[in-house]
C-alpha cells in the first residue's frame, strides 16, 4: 500500500456542502427546541437533522477529517434513535447536540482557513454516546457475517455496523468501489456526482477513501469504497457509479420487510441545481471586467475616428449593441453570484441563543431578511461584522431580566435584525435592541476625551481601537476590537456606511449600508482640473449646477477652514471644492457642477469642473497602505490605460468634517 492520499482536491466541494448542511442543521435544531418546549415531537426536523449529519459525516470521511467524522457520527447515532421513535428527542439531548454542532462548525472553519483541525472533544463524544442507543446484537452479528477488509472495518462505528446488519426494511448491503481519474472527470464522473446518484438509489452508510499504489488501474492512487443500503437493482447502481455490474459486491442479502423507511438521500432537493465553486465565478467576472475595459477603449477609438471626419455611424451602432450585451452578461454573472440575505443570516438565531444562555439573559429575536440578495463575496465579508454587532446587542444592549423588570420593561430583551435592498446597488441592514442605550459620558471618560456632541461623533469614539466599557474581557466582549473591525469592514473595505441611533433607556440601533457588489459598478465620471475621477452612482443623491450667486460663506471659528454653503432649493448645504482637497489647478471657464451625497442623513456637496458621463467601471482595490486614504476606495481604467481613482465621497465628507472640527473624535 502506498502512503497517505492527498484529498485536498475534494476540499472545496466539502466546504460548500458542509456549510449548507450546517445552516440547515442550525435551523432544524431551533425547530426541535421549540417543539420540545411545547412537549411535541419533531419528526421532520429530527429527520432533516439526521440527513445533515449523515451527509457531513460521509463528506468528512471522503476528505479524511476524522474529528468531524467522529462528531457527526455521534450526533447521527442520537438522531437515528430519535427518528425511529417518531422524532421524539430526549430533553437532555439538545444541549449536547448543540455543543457538537458548534464543535463541527469550528472545525469546518479551521479547515477553510487552512489551520489545524482540533481533535473531537472526548467528554462531548462520551456525553453523546450516553444518549444514543446501547450497542446490541445487530452490530455484533454484522461484524461476524459481513466480510470487510481491516482497512474498511476499522473505520466503521457501532452505529454503522448496526445499519449494515439490517433493520427489516427490505434493503441489502452492497459495496461499490469508485476509482477517480482525469479521464473519468472529463466525462463528468467524479466522487461528488457518484455519491449524489448513489444516494438517490439508497442510503450511503459510509464512504471510505483507500490508498493504493498509482498504476494504470488506479492512476490517482485512490479508491473510494461506498457502503450502501439499497433496494435498487445492481444495474442501476453500476450505471450511477460508472462501473461494471459485477463490481457491485453484495455484503448482506435483503432482510425481511418490517417497516419501510424513507430513504435518507433526496435527489429532488438538488434537481436543477449545479454547485459552482466561487473561484470559477470570480474568474468569469474577471474576464468580464477585461471586456468592459476593452469596450471603453473601443468607444474612445470610435470617438477619435469620428473627430477625424470618418463615417462611424455603423460602428457606433455596433458599439452600442455591444454595450447592451455586456450589461446583460454582467447581470447574468452577478445573478449567479448572488445569495439571499436570509441565507447569510440563518445562523444568527443560533448565535443569539448561545449568547443569551452564556450571559444568563432572555432575548427574543425578530429576524426579517425579506427577499434581499447580495454578492456572496460581500456576504462573507459582512457576516463577521454582523456577529460583532449581535454580540454587542446581547452583551451590552440586553439587561438581565430582573433589571429590566425594575425598569418597567419585559423580562426578555427585544433584538431585531432586518435588511432590505435600499436601491438596486445597495443593501441596508439594521441591528436594533431595546436596551439601556449608550452612555456617551461614561464612554468619553473611559477614553479620556470630550463628550461626543452627536451620534456621529459617538460612533467615531466607539470605533477607536482598544476602547471598551468593560473592566475585564469576557467570552463575548471587552477587548475593544469589535466596533473597530465593523468600521474597517463596512466603511474602509466595502465603501459602505454606518449610522448610529441611540437613546438612554430605550435602546440602540446600528444601520449598515453596504454595496450589493464591489467589482463592477455603475459610476459617474467627472473631472477636476485635468484629473478624471469616478464616484459610484449609488452614493450620489443629486448633481446640480453651481451658480456663484447661490454660494455663501459661513462663519468659521478659530483654527477652522473656511466653509462655503450652497443654496439648494432653500436649504443650505456644505460645499467643498474637490480641487482644493486634492491640490489640483482649476480649469478656466469650466461650467461648475456639484455632486450631492448624504452623510448620516445630512446633505454634503462637492464642487467639480465637469461631469463626463455615466458608465460601468471595474473597481480594483488599492492594497498598498501608502496609497489607501480616506475617501479613496480603489482605481479603475476608463479605457485610456491610465488608472483613475474611485472616490467614496461620503467617507471623504466625514474626514473633512473631522478636520474642520465639526466632529470631535
- The answer on pLDDT for 404 being more than 80 is yes
Q: With CA atoms as reference, report the closest residue to 468 among 490, 491, 445.
A: 445
Average pLDDT, the chain: 81
Per-residue pLDDT, averaged over 434-452, amounts to 87
- CATH of the structural domain 1-133, one choice from 1.20.120.160, 3.30.390.50, 1.10.3080.10, 3.40.50.1370: 1.20.120.160
Per-residue pLDDT, averaged over 425-451, amounts to 87
Determine the distance from the C-alpha atom of residue 536 to the mean position of all C-alpha atoms in its chain, rounded to a whole number.
23
Per-residue pLDDT, averaged over 233-243, amounts to 91
pLDDT recorded at residue 424: 65
Strands (E) located in 389-446: 413-423, 426-433
Q: Which of 81-85, 351-355, 480-484, 658-662 has the highest mean pLDDT?
A: 351-355
- The answer on pLDDT for 35 being more than 80 is yes
pLDDT recorded at residue 479: 46
pLDDT tens digit sequence for 296-343: 788 888 888 988 989 988 998 998 898 888 888 877 887 888 888 888
Identify the residue with better confidence: 2 or 123: 123
- The answer on pLDDT for 472 being more than 60 is no
Question: Which fold does the domain 346-515 belong to in CATH?
Answer: Heat Shock Protein 90 (3.30.565)
Q: Which residue pairs, CB below 8 angstroms and at least 24 apart, start in 500-503?
A: 500/438, 500/455, 500/456, 500/458, 500/459, 500/462, 501/455, 502/437, 502/438, 502/455, 502/458, 503/437
- The answer on pLDDT for 258 being more than 60 is no
Per-residue pLDDT, averaged over 356-379, amounts to 87
Which CATH homologous superfamily contains domain 520-660?
CheA-289, Domain 4 (2.40.50.180)
Identify the residue with better confidence: 609 or 626: 609
Largest Cα span, the chain: 97
Are 500 and 510 within 8 A, CB to CB? yes
Query: What band does 2 get if pLDDT is binned at 50, 70 and 90?
Result: very low
Which top CATH class is 135-257? alpha beta
pLDDT tens digit sequence for 72-122: 988 988 888 888 778 888 878 888 899 999 999 999 988 888 888 899 999
Amino acid at each position: 500500500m502506498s502512503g497517505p492520499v492527498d484529498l485536498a482536491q475534494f476540499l472545496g466541494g466539502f466546504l460548500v456542502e458542509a456549510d449548507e448542511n450546517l445552516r440547515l442543521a442550525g435551523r432544524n435544531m431551533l425547530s426541535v427546541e421549540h417543539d420540545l418546549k411545547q412537549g411535541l415531537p419533531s419528526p421532520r426536523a429530527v429527520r432533516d437533522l439526521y440527513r445533515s449529519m449523515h451527509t457531513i459525516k460521509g463528506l468528512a470521511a471522503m476528505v479524511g477529517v476524522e474529528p468531524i467524522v467522529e462528531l457527526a457520527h455521534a450526533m447521527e447515532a442520537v438522531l437515528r434513535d430519535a427518528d425511529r421513535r417518531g422524532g421524539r428527542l430526549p430533553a437532555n439531548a439538545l444541549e449536547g447536540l448543540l455543543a457538537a454542532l458548534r464543535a463541527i462548525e469550528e472545525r469546518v472553519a479551521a479547515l477553510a482557513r487552512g489551520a489545524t483541525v482540533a481533535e473531537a472533544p472526548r467528554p462531548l463524544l462520551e456525553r453523546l454516546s450516553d444518549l444514543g442507543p446501547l450497542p446490541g446484537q445487530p452490530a455484533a452479528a454484522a461484524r461476524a457475517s459481513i466480510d470487510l477488509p481491516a482497512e474498511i472495518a476499522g473505520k466503521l462505528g457501532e452505529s454503522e455496523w448496526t445499519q449494515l446488519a439490517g433493520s427489516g426494511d427490505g434493503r441489502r448491503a452492497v459495496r461499490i468501489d469508485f476509482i477517480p481519474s482525469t479521464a473519468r472527470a472529463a466525462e463528468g464522473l467524479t466522487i461528488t456526482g457518484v455519491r449524489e446518484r448513489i444516494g438517490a438509489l439508497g442510503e450511503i452508510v459510509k464512504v471510505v477513501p483507500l490508498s493504493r499504489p498509482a498504476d494504470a488501474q488506479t492512476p490517482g492512487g485512490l479508491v473510494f469504497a461506498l457502503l450502501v443500503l439499497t433496494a435498487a437493482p445492481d444495474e442501476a447502481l453500476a450505471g450511477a457509479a460508472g462501473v461494471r455490474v459485477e463490481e457491485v459486491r453484495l455484503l448482506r442479502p435483503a432482510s425481511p420487510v418490517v417497516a419501510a423507511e424513507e430513504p435518507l438521500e433526496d435527489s429532488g432537493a438538488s434537481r436543477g441545481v449545479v454547485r459552482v465553486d466561487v473561484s470559477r465565478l470570480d474568474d468569469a467576472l474577471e474576464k468580464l471586467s477585461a471586456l468592459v475595459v476593452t469596450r471603453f477603449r473601443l468607444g474612445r477609438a470610435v470617438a477619435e475616428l469620428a473627430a477625424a471626419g470618418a463615417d462611424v455611424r455603423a460602428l457606433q451602432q455596433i458599439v452600442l449593441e455591444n454595450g447592451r450585451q455586456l450589461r446583460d452578461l454582467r447581470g447574468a454573472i452577478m445573478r449567479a453570484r448572488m445569495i439571499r440575505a436570509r441565507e447569510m443570516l440563518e445562523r444568527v438565531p443560533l448565535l443569539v441563543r448561545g449568547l443569551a444562555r452564556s450571559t444568563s439573559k432572555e432575548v427574543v429575536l425578530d429576524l426579517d431578511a425579506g427577499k434581499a440578495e447580495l454578492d456572496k463575496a460581500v456576504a462573507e465579508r459582512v457576516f463577521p461584522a454582523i456577529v460583532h454587532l449581535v454580540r454587542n446587542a446581547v452583551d451590552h444592549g440586553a439587561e438581565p431580566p430582573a433589571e429590566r423588570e425594575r425598569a418597567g420593561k419585559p423580562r426578555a430583551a427585544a433584538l431585531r435584525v432586518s435588511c432590505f435592498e435600499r436601491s438596486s446597488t445597495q443593501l441596508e441592514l439594521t441591528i436594533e435592541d431595546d436596551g439601556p442605550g449608550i452612555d456617551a459620558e461614561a464612554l468619553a471618560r473611559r477614553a479620556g476625551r470630550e463628550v461626543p456632541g452627536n451620534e456621529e461623533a459617538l460612533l467615531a469614539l466607539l470605533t477607536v481601537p482598544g476602547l471598551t466599557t468593560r473592566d475585564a474581557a469576557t467570552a463575548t466582549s471587552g477587548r475593544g476590537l469589535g466596533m473597530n473591525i465593523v468600521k474597517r469592514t463596512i466603511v474602509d473595505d466595502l465603501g459602505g456606511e454606518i449610522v448610529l441611533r441611540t437613546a438612554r433607556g430605550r435602546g440602540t440601533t446600528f444601520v449598515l449600508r453596504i454595496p450589493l457588489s464591489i467589482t463592477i459598478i455603475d459610476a459617474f465620471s467627472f473631472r477636476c482640473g485635468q484629473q478624471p475621477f469616478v464616484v459610484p452612482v449609488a452614493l450620489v443623491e443629486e448633481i446640480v449646477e453651481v451658480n456663484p450667486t447661490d454660494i455663501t460663506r459661513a462663519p468659521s471659528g478659530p483654527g477652522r477652514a473656511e466653509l462655503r454653503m450652497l443654496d439648494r432649493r432653500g436649504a443650505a448645504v456644505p460645499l467643498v471644492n474637490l480641487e482644493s482637497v486634492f491640490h489640483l489647478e482649476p480649469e478656466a471657464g469650466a461650467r461648475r457642477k456639484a455632486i450631492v451625497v448624504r452623510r448620516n442623513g445630512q446633505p454634503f456637496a462637492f464642487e467639480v469642473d465637469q461631469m463626463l458621463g455615466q458608465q460601468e467601471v471595474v473597481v480594483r482595490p488599492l492594497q498598498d497602505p501608502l496609497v489607501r486614504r480616506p475617501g479613496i476606495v480603489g482605481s479603475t481604467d476608463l479605457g485610456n490605460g491610465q488608472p483613475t481613482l474611485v472616490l467614496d465621497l461620503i467617507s471623504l465628507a466625514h474626514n473633512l468634517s473631522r478636520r474642520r472640527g465639526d466632529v470631535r473624535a
